[in-house]
Amino acid sequence: MAADRTILLATRNPGKLREIRQVLSRLHVRVAGLEEFADLPEPDETGRTFARNAQDKARYYARATGQWCLADDSGLAVDALRGAPGVHSARYAAEDCPPNAGREVLDRANNAKLLRELAGVGDEDRAARFVCHLALAEGDRILLEADGVLEGRIGHAPAGENGFGYDPLFYVPALGCTSAQLSPEEKNRISHRGQAVRTFARKLPAILP
């Protein structure tokens, strides 16, 4: 059966697109990616919070495409770094990379910088959390919002081959492994994004046709 509603996901990150599609797969919607709008420029992210950036991105792409747009802003907050990298998580080490560096290059540089910033910091002071905020817009109107948080700590070296971003360094004490050592299904069950998308999925049917 064809989907009744297309929702554009405002990201070019294939990992995010895959995770959100997996959680929303049971709903009667089609989740499109920005590859369908390849020539559309990205907006500047000037918000000081994850929520504001998600709202701004959702409105921008909803206006530009005429689609319902779901935007995610998420990142890592490390206590010892006073909440950094925070809203700058995706490009934390951009100055260490060539212009237009791909996602994998940026991810490696971001992880390397994080380890440098935490050199000499003991386990007890490496507490951190992944934060995700989702906003769904139609034009300038925000229709739904949801968020999620996953608590953990930063490891001393990367471990695991799954996931993306800071997953190889994000240790989950309750599971005894990093996010990158979890299967996609296991990660979606506990992740900040998985929590936010499940909350979003519970709210979404109320506004669908």
- pLDDT of 69-97, one tens digit each? 999 999 999 999 999 999 999 999 999 99
Total tally of structural domains belonging to the chain: 1
Give pTM, 2 decimals. 0.87
Please state, in angstroms and rounded to a whole number, the distance separating the CA atoms of residues 69 and 36: 13
Quick check: 1 pLDDT over 60? no
Q: Which residues pair with 124 in a beta bridge?
A: none
Is 73 a known active-site residue?
yes
pLDDT grade, residue 2 (50/70/90)?
very low
Question: Which residues constitute the domain of residue 79?
Answer: 5-207
CA–CA distance, 136 with 143 (Å, rounded to integer): 5
pLDDT band at 184 (very low <50, low <70, confident <90, very high): confident
Residue 3, pLDDT > 80, answer: no
Planar angle of CA 32, 191, 148, nearest 5 degrees: 85
Question: Looking at residue 62, which CATH number applies to its domain?
Answer: 3.90.950.10
- For the CA atoms of 77, 83, 89, 92, what is the dihedral angle to 10 degrees? -140
In the predicted model, what is the mean pLDDT of residues 89-114?
93
Whether the pLDDT of residue 57 is over 70: the answer is yes
Cα–Cα nearest to 73, from 1, 124, 147, 170: 147
From the list 100, 104, 106, the residue with the least C-alpha distance to 88 is 106
Rounded Cα distance between 188 and 157, Å, is 23
The catalytic position among 39, 44, 72, 73 is 73
Dist CA 182 CA 83 (whole Å) = 25
Question: For residue 63, what pLDDT band results from cuts at 50, 70 and 90?
Answer: very high
